[in-house]
Structure 1
Amino acid sequence: MTSSERAPGRGTAVVIGGGLAGLAAAWALRGFAERIVVVERDRYPAEAAFRAGVPQGRHAHLVLEAGHRALEEMMPGIKQELTAAGALRVAASEVKWLSSAGWMADYPARMAFLSCTRPVLDKLVLDRVRTEASIEFLEGTDVVGLLGSAGAVTGVKVRERGPQRDSEQGSEQGSQGSEPGSPRDSVRDSVRGEVRDIAAELVIDAAGRSTAVPKWLAELGCRPVPEERVDAGVAYSSRLFHRPAGVDLGGQAVYLQTKAPDAPRMGVLLPVEDDRWIVSLAGMRGAEPEPGEEGFAKHLAGLRDPLLREALREAEPAGEVRGFLPGPGVRRHYERACPEGLVAVGDAASTFNPVYGQGVTVALFCARELRRTALRHGGIGHVTAREARRAIATASKNPWVMSCAEDARFDTTTGAPSGALLRLQHRFLDKVLAGATRDPVVTEAFHEVLSLVAPPSLLFRPSVLGAVLRG
């Protein structure tokens, strides 16, 4: 077949959304797609900076052990670049972690996470992706629909946003963030361009929590994608602080976990670049942080332990208080019902309660599985897409089950699993947590599971289970 006889879009992949999940997916397809088009509604800042299109970006983020392993596998040398830019490697033993059962035991940890602000992570990944000649960017552009039929997606409809009437600075004013998918001031009044089509052999949905792809699939006549939805009603309030000299936290980071049902508030302190801390406070439904500085201080005072409040006593704020309402956790089962030529990654596929720190890592898992399936099949055709959907569903299953099981502990959570099996799981996990407060063998195993390095079945290994049951 000559190039003129090829089907429209053959060899082209379109990625909807140029956030972390979309960038990683685009990078994963290099060498398998002749042309990769990343459609991003924002315009990327020249330097590492918070973006209006990433409202969750102002809150505490980390890349779990399994996540930075996957990132390094896909982008060799990226961890060194991140640490050179100020990201910190925080060993699990350097986290002062108050679980529902008490303080985690000390042990010589092998597990560690990377901690930095989202702009640093996003910028370095973007810089790496821009080195690939086959990847092009349509910035300031919306995807407004899909091409194709109920049987196959064959491309996207796009429209340029045009020059923005408000500045980025103006869009960041205010102490509370907006709901996912709601318009920001900086893009609400954009001048709109003409709608045009981009034909593609593969379309990747990386549009995040607010993705419109399910709605567009319905317009094509597709049957609804099966989904699970669990909503703990979590809300966030975060602030950056300059790290005060001489403060001893007993570690690099602090995590004061919730305890159901009587302590639905949590707080986390992470070290980030430029000698700063990022502090995120959160509460489940009915215990949400109130807006502004007063609400932040009130929530801080209501945490289970005063460690975080005392650590911030001499800390100078490095920014204003920012709020965020993530919305419900949603897991879309595209592996069960999906037209050909479409794959969802990151939050567009599975959205988790962010208090468990899984989102970035699972997004990187999605990209890794996408590349592995493209490698197996040597291209981006329908067989690759089908297998990628199944692999992504498998990679996100354990994180989803773990987060939903914890959300189910709170009576105000809607859509959560229930029943005798869940109660049994809770009782066993309570014993594991109690063991993790005193036995390093249990602590290490628990950290491996939470770091997504090992499956939950690790907790049933004889050495771990024996220590749990002896306790």
Structure 2
Amino acid sequence: MTSSDRGPGRGTAVVIGGGLAGTVAAWALRGHAERIVVVERDRYPAEPTFRAGVPQGRHAHLVLEAGHRALEEMMPGIRQQLADAGATRVAVSGDLKWLSSAGWMAQYPAQLGFLSCTRPVLDKVVLDRVRTEPSIEFLEGVDVVGLLGSARAVTGVRIRERGPERGEVREIPAELVVDAAGRSTSVPQWLAELGHPAVPEERVDAGASYSSRIFHRPAGVDLGHRAIYLQTKAPDAPRLGVLLPVEGDRWIVSVAGMRGAEPEPGEAGFTKQVGLLRDQSIREALRNAEPDGEVRGFVPGPGVRRHYERSSPDGLVVVGDAVSTFNPVYGQGVTVALFCAQALRRTALRHGGIGHATARDARREIATASKNPWVMSCSEDARFAATTGAPSGALLKLQHRFLDKVLAASVNDPAVTAAFHEVMSLVAPPTLLFRPSVLAAVLRS
């Protein structure tokens, strides 16, 4: 039976949004959908450059170790391609100088790490790989303006060209619609227009605000490490800073503050925020560094976790920031988006296609993949008094006390540091910290 025999949209998947979450979701569906259409409101630049549709792209980004493993599994050889494009490998210990709330973390020969580059390089390397797949097509400069279907099932999307002379609205019937439109997704609104009840969601807002700038690394400088991470310390030090190596022999430096400690605008505000950090190592590193571009600010907004696994029409899967956004200070977002693509791939393999059973299972697996990162992020946000929507209670206080002991032990005990890094890199669940050998070291400290 051909696709046309089975009715409009059968065998077609539409991905809303052609950023990283959308492109890897499209790649995950290859071989399972006859036609995969990625609808992207921007037009992709020919070279890796920042674009308006990715406002967070001008700030420091991390693909955690678990994310690199997921990406390499889906796209073998992608790590080497990123390295060829200028990404620098940073081991989480030895290459990274990490100041936790308890002090500088103990150093050890770490196997875990990440490739550090600007977001445009990451996006371009992934996009170039996805474009090699014949079943994936891209509609650039096109807006999705609504969903087709009913409260029970999504059956496609409505689209329209962008620009001053916008064309008429067209329809793309689809068996599966994947929302990868990010934080600004309109899918909840469109579902309401179809008569679907509001999707349950959680919101936690620490009021984080970012300021970033790229610098040329001074010739001959040797910091003794490749990157610096200065973590917050609640409640008296709600500011953080990160310095990462990026392509072109440069550094990207991002500073941030929680509500009440946000960086002030512009160059003066950036410089002031660097000086207010708990440690002056980033300030010293930048003493002779020449800026490469302007200071850029970013206010990510609240963390949101939408529970589509509890309430969703058939034929819809939501991935990346459209389903769960985290406080960016923990560096989890890109990695969780890659987990979403893996879940989509696994469920399509399990069911042999992109039908409603695949979508239902994918929604459940995506919820599971985002649970631990969400709990970790929200629990830390709860330490700051100005955070809204955060969890509370005796159990949370107990978690905080235990994590404080873990961080205190990590200052002197490399084994505890290594376990903590595995959890923060999302390669192991938080229960790893209760392994007898780790727990014993924590209690001894």
Structure 2 length-normalised TM: 0.99
Contact 2:3-2:10 within 8 A present in 1 as well: no
Partner of 1:462: 436
SS of the aligned residue for 2:232 comes to coil
Partner of 1:155: 156
CA distance in 1, matches of 2:26, 2:5: 26
Find out whether 1:72 has 2:72 as its counterpart: yes
SS of the aligned residue for 2:244 comes to strand
The alignment of Structure 1 onto Structure 2 pairs a total of residues equal to 444
**Residues 72-111 of structure 1: per-residue CA shift (max 9 Å, x gap):** 0000011000001000110011111111000000111111
User: Which aligned pairs between 1:8-27 and structure 2 lie closer than 5 A?
Assistant: 8-27=8-27
**Residues 364-397 of structure 1: per-residue CA shift (max 9 Å, x gap):** 0100110011011110000000000000110111
User: Which aligned pairs between 1:71-150 and structure 2 lie closer than 5 A?
Assistant: 71-93=71-93, 94-150=95-151
User: Which aligned pairs between 1:347-366 and structure 2 lie closer than 5 A?
Assistant: 347-366=321-340
TM superposition shift of 1:276:
0.3
Query: Is 340-349 or 242-251 further displaced after alignment?
Result: 242-251
Shift of the 310–383 alpha-carbon distance from structure 1 to 2, 3 Å rule, reads same
SS of the aligned residue for 2:349 comes to helix
CA distance in 1, matches of 2:96, 2:440: 25
CA distance in 1, matches of 2:395, 2:160: 49
Contact 1:38-1:137 within 8 A present in 2 as well: yes
Partner of 1:344: 318
Find out whether 1:294 has 2:268 as its counterpart: yes
Q: Structure 1: which amino acid aligns with 2:370?
A: S
**Any stretches of 5+ residues in structure 2 without a counterpart?**
none
TM superposition shift of 1:2:
5.3
Find out whether 1:194 has 2:168 as its counterpart: yes
CA distance in 1, matches of 2:399, 2:172: 48
Q: Structure 2: which amino acid aligns with 1:76?
A: P
Q: Structure 2: which amino acid aligns with 1:87?
A: A
Q: Structure 1: which amino acid aligns with 2:153?
A: A
Contact 1:96-1:250 within 8 A present in 2 as well: no
Q: Structure 2: which amino acid aligns with 1:17?
A: G
Q: Structure 1: which amino acid aligns with 2:74?
A: M
Shift of the 328–206 alpha-carbon distance from structure 1 to 2, 3 Å rule, reads same
Find out whether 1:212 has 2:213 as its counterpart: no
CA distance in 2, matches of 1:248, 1:126: 34
Find out whether 1:418 has 2:392 as its counterpart: yes
CA distance in 2, matches of 1:3, 1:360: 34
CA distance in 2, matches of 1:249, 1:376: 49
User: Which aligned pairs between 1:319-334 and structure 2 lie closer than 5 A?
Assistant: 319-334=293-308
User: Which aligned pairs between 1:448-459 and structure 2 lie closer than 5 A?
Assistant: 448-459=422-433
TM superposition shift of 1:3:
4.5
Shift of the 196–305 alpha-carbon distance from structure 1 to 2, 3 Å rule, reads same
CA distance in 2, matches of 1:126, 1:191: 28
CA distance in 2, matches of 1:328, 1:102: 28
CA distance in 1, matches of 2:222, 2:406: 29
Given candidates 241, 256, 262, the residue that maps to 2:230 is 256
**Residues 109-163 of structure 1: per-residue CA shift (max 9 Å, x gap):** 111011100110000111001000000011000000000001000000000103x
Contact 1:329-1:353 within 8 A present in 2 as well: yes
Shift of the 14–4 alpha-carbon distance from structure 1 to 2, 3 Å rule, reads closer
The share of aligned pairs that are identical, in percent, is 82
**Residues 303-328 of structure 1: per-residue CA shift (max 9 Å, x gap):** 00111101100000011100001000
Shift of the 140–246 alpha-carbon distance from structure 1 to 2, 3 Å rule, reads same
Given candidates 399, 408, 427, the residue that maps to 2:382 is 408
Given candidates 228, 251, 254, the residue that maps to 1:280 is 254
Find out whether 1:36 has 2:40 as its counterpart: no
Partner of 2:351: 377
CA distance in 2, matches of 1:398, 1:196: 40
CA distance in 2, matches of 1:307, 1:384: 49
CA distance in 2, matches of 1:256, 1:323: 19
SS of the aligned residue for 1:132 comes to coil
SS of the aligned residue for 1:120 comes to helix
Shift of the 2–242 alpha-carbon distance from structure 1 to 2, 3 Å rule, reads closer
CA distance in 2, matches of 1:325, 1:333: 24
CA distance in 1, matches of 2:337, 2:5: 36
CA distance in 2, matches of 1:96, 1:424: 28
**Residues 38-76 of structure 1: per-residue CA shift (max 9 Å, x gap):** 000000001111111000000000111000100000000
Contact 2:3-2:11 within 8 A present in 1 as well: no
TM superposition shift of 1:250:
2.7
SS of the aligned residue for 1:62 comes to coil
Partner of 1:186: none
User: Which aligned pairs between 1:228-267 and structure 2 lie closer than 5 A?
Assistant: 228-267=202-241
Structure 1 length-normalised TM: 0.93
SS of the aligned residue for 1:143 comes to strand
CA distance in 2, matches of 1:331, 1:38: 24
CA distance in 2, matches of 1:470, 1:401: 27
TM superposition shift of 1:5:
3.4
TM superposition shift of 1:7:
2.0
Shift of the 461–3 alpha-carbon distance from structure 1 to 2, 3 Å rule, reads closer
CA distance in 2, matches of 1:151, 1:3: 23
CA distance in 2, matches of 1:325, 1:28: 31
CA distance in 2, matches of 1:19, 1:112: 24
Q: Structure 2: which amino acid aligns with 1:58?
A: R
TM superposition shift of 1:249:
2.3
CA distance in 2, matches of 1:250, 1:462: 34
TM superposition shift of 1:242:
0.3
TM superposition shift of 1:248:
3.0
CA distance in 1, matches of 2:222, 2:418: 24
